[in-house]
Chains A and B, each alone.
Chain A
């Protein structure tokens, strides 16, 4: 079955870059029928979709307006994984971050979640 395994640091200093990786098993990051997403959850902002990467004859990305200027989602076909980079973080970026497989019907497979705290 499809599984997503997240990894990355749980503590990031303000103004630095938050980096997370999501390894895919049982599916391909190059699938042309799904997309690979990052979603976060915090008490103040609830569940918030951040961005995605997907392959439709070429690689495409979408980002939420709130993070578009400082976020990158990249696929890595050699390792069948995708990553999140969020630059210039502030304490407001403190949240549980999830990776998730998405299609037109919703997000059907989720990673286990990573609690990321932004603090000096």
Chain B
């Protein structure tokens, strides 16, 4: 069973700073996505295929990585970017699984 581990658990930064979030898989994964979730809302797809931005996602969001190590980078934080971020893998047992999340909070 593939387990996704995200780090850090909480990231405290200021608007305008750069955020780097990590997702590590216990085994190599074939497909990885990133989501943003705000309180009371459903997750929103940001990145698919490890590095492709979803529709209408600003270009300050970028994804990279392959195999077992993946990164979500937000180049310059805007006030609306403070939220919880999840990675998600597709394809291996379990068929879909999510990381435990990284909370990005205002410093």
Restricting to A1-53, which residues have a CB under 8 Å from any CB of B?
37, 46-49
- Residues in A neighbouring B48, C-beta threshold 8 A: 105-106, 108
Q: Of A37, A100, A104, A112, which is in contact with the most chain B CB atoms at under 10 Å from its CB?
A: A104
B interface residue count range (under 10 / 10 to 19 / 20 to 34 / 35 or more): 20 to 34
Taking a contact as CB atoms under 8 Å apart, the answer to whether B95 and A106 are in contact is no
Is A62's CB under 8 angstroms from B95's CB?
A: yes
Interface majority SS (helix, strand, loop, mixed), chain A:
strand
Complex Cα distance, B94 from A65, in Å, reads 8
Q: Which of A62-120 contact B (CB under 8 A)?
A: 62, 64-65, 98, 100, 102, 104-108, 110-113
Question: Per-position contact with A for B41-75: 1 when CB-CB < 8 Å, else 0?
Answer: 11111001100101100000000000000000000
Interface size class of A (residues with CB under 8 A): 20 to 34
**Who on chain A is nearest to B96 by CB?**
A49
Complex-state Cα separation, A109 to B70, whole angstroms: 23
How many angstroms from the CA of A100 to the CA of B96 in the assembled complex? 13
Interface-central residue, A37, A46, A98, A111, by most chain B CB under 10 Å: A46
Given contacts A110-B42, A111-B42, contact A105 B94 (CB under 8 A): no
Is A49 in contact with B94, judged by CB distance below 8 angstroms? yes
CB contact list, B66-107 vs A, under 8 A: 86, 88, 90, 93-98, 100-101
Other-chain contact of A106, B42, B88, B93, B101 (Cβ < 8 Å): B88
Task: Answer yes or no: B31 CB below 8 A from chain A CBs.
Answer: yes
Chain A contacts to B: CB under 8 angstroms: 37, 46-49, 62, 64-65, 98, 100, 102, 104-108, 110-113
Chain B residues close to A by CB (< 8 Å): 31, 33, 35, 41-45, 48-49, 52, 54-55, 86, 88, 90, 93-98, 100-101
A-B contact pairs, 21 of them (CB 8 A): A37-B96, A46-B100, A47-B43, A47-B101, A49-B94, A49-B98, A62-B95, A64-B95, A65-B93, A65-B94, A104-B90, A105-B33, A105-B45, A105-B52, A106-B31, A106-B88, A107-B43, A107-B45, A108-B54, A110-B44, A113-B41
